[in-house]
Amino acid sequence: MLLLVLVGFAVVVGFFLLKLVSTGALIEGVKRARRNASLTVREGFREGWAHWGVLLRLALLFLVANLASVALLAAPVALVGRLSGGGPALFAAAALAVVVGVPWLVTLYMWQAFAERIAVLENRHAMDAIRKARLFLHGRLRLGLKLLVASFLGVLFVGVLALAVGAPVVALLVASSALWGGLASVALGVLTLLPVFFIVVSMIGIVTSSVWTIGYLTEVGS
């Protein structure tokens, strides 16, 4: 059991590290593509590896900021619920927390997205990238919202495409379960759908990263 936990933890850490490396590589790749330059796999890995540390620090800093924000928003709601015992007061407090919290959490997301691109494209340290991203985002919330909508539409398109590909496979596996047996069908389904899952996750990452990088480079005129 302990071995399985350790293996699972190693897999999660490995995929998280791979995400950081690929994010750096994608940002650099989009920059070169806009200049009609190419990026080989070796160069992409080198660029991604060079920036994974700062991307990790940014991810941890914004994770702390998001968790602290959620805690600060939830604490008054919990206090009101405890004092009032529920009812209209709790509903009003929860509604107010949502009204205040959603725009702030969305702003944090946009802030992190721009900080990541500034850190990679301008080779800046984490805190320096955060400060510049704050200045960049000031007065550009509309741009951030447009990019947020564009990335959402891209993810939605990938999701629909994945559903169109995956649904027939699932239907075929369900139909053949009587022939292969339940356990065999599950094993076959995992072997068939797991690669599709990783491809879909990769496509979502490519789409979202490209949208934010193109938006930032277009705005700064690079």
CB 25 within 8 A of CB 47: yes
Return the biggest CA–CA distance within the chain: 63
CA distance 24 to 110: 17
| pLDDT value for 61 | 95
pTM: 0.85
Q: What is the pLDDT of residue 89?
A: 81
Query: Measured in whole angstroms, how far is the alpha carbon of residue 8 from the centre of its chain?
Result: 21
Asked if 192 contacts 169 with a C-beta cutoff of 8 angstroms, the reply is yes
Say if CB 128 and CB 89 are below 8 A apart: no
Going from the C-alpha of 174 to that of each of 136, 162, 179, 180, the distances in angstroms are 51, 18, 10, 10
C-alpha 78/C-alpha 85 separation (Å) is 10
Running along the chain, 222 residues long, what does each successive block of 10 average in pLDDT?
74 80 85 78 78 92 96 90 78 89 94 94 92 92 92 89 78 66 65 74 84 91 70
Q: Structural domain boundaries of the chain?
A: 141-222
Specify the DSSP class assigned to residue 86.
S
Q: How many residues does the chain have?
A: 222
